[in-house]
Structure 1
Amino acid sequence: MSAVDALLAQARRQLGHRMGPLEAAALQEAGGLLVDIRYAELRERDGTIPGALIVERNELEWRLDPTGAHRAPEATHHGLPVVVICNEGYASSLAALSLRQL
């Protein structure tokens, strides 16, 4: 197993349950935030997710930190339920763990 595969496995163990589309939609309906970290080419190719906040991965922590000067208006508090979405679930798992640590 490569080092990055081990890191991904560890992140997924720490995060626990991974949501599917219906659960994510329900969370959004209940006031949670969907965050699409796919890069522009993938969004153009596959389409956007209605109501999702688009944040490139390299800006994620700065835009989702409610105490930061560069936060997105949607990042209202640290307890906000957030689902991070990418193309295949690898980058979003690592990103979600980073947000949890934040």
Structure 2
Amino acid sequence: MSDVRESTPGGGGKPLGIDELLERVRTKIDRIGPRQAAAAAADGALLVDIRYAALREKDGVIPGALIIERNELEWRLDPRGSHRAAEAVSHDLQVVVVCNEGYASSLAVESLHRLGLHRATDLIGGFQAWRAAGLPVEG
């Protein structure tokens, strides 16, 4: 498990702020843009929308995306988990996590990597970038 404290001389550490944590997490993720995400989905990647219901109702959804709210993500995508989604068939599954603007998704991907889903990534700019790119949206 990664440590969220910075190393400082003398063995102590100070807690990271969210901006530093996000920056650190993103150095380990090969993030993709909206058109890359659409191409990945066309090639069999699983798009996973982790936005909460009110945002999906307000803005719509990406056709074909699997809806798993953030608080259930690890349980539903762990291929060995007792509560896994039918789509969670392998640790080799390519997963593209989509949040609203591309922040929470990066943190979610770090957690998926810890579960062994090494091909998990996230959508830069999230759902809002997908929609701004003119890609399909339902609802």
Is the pair's TM-score, using the shorter chain for normalization, greater than 0.5?
yes
Describe the superposition over 1:33-54 as per-residue Cα deviations: whole angstroms up to 9, x where unpaired. Answer: 0000000000011101111000
Cα distance, 1:20 vs structure 2: 1.2
Return 5+ residue gaps in structure 1 as ranges.
none
Return 5+ residue gaps in structure 2 as ranges.
1-15, 116-139
Whole-angstrom CA distance in 2 between matches of 1:100 and 1:28: 19
Whole-angstrom CA distance in 1 between matches of 2:113 and 2:39: 20
Q: Percent of pairs identical after alignment?
A: 65
Q: Within 5 Å, which residues of 2 pair with 1:1-102?
A: 3-15=17-29, 17-102=30-115
| More helix by percentage | 1
Describe the superposition over 1:37-79 as per-residue Cα deviations: whole angstroms up to 9, x where unpaired. Answer: 0000000111011110000100000000010110000011001
Query: TM-score, normalization: structure 1?
Result: 0.94
Q: Which has the higher contact order (CA 8 A, sep 6+)?
A: 1
Moved over 6 A (4+): none
Provide the secondary structure at the position in 1 that maps to 2:97.
strand
Whole-angstrom CA distance in 2 between matches of 1:45 and 1:13: 32
Cα distance, 1:97 vs structure 2: 1.0
Q: Count how many residue pairs are aligned between Structure 1 and Structure 2.
A: 100
Whole-angstrom CA distance in 2 between matches of 1:101 and 1:28: 23
